[in-house]
Amino acid sequence: MANHKSAIKRFRQDKKRTLHNRYYAKTMRNAVRKLRAITDKEEAVKLYPVVQKMLDKLAKTNIIHKNKAANIKSSLSQHINKLG
d(CA 25, CA 69): 11
pLDDT score of 48: 97
Q: Cα–Cα–Cα angle for 31, 36, 38, nearest 5°?
A: 100
Per-residue pLDDT reduced to its tens digit, 7-56: 999 999 999 999 999 999 999 999 999 999 999 999 999 999 999 999 99
Do residues 27 and 57 make contact, with C-beta atoms less than 8 angstroms apart? no
Taking the model in full, what pTM does it have? 0.84
Question: At a CB cut-off of 8 Å and minimum separation 6, what does 17 contact?
Answer: none
Residue 70 has pLDDT above 90, yes or no: yes
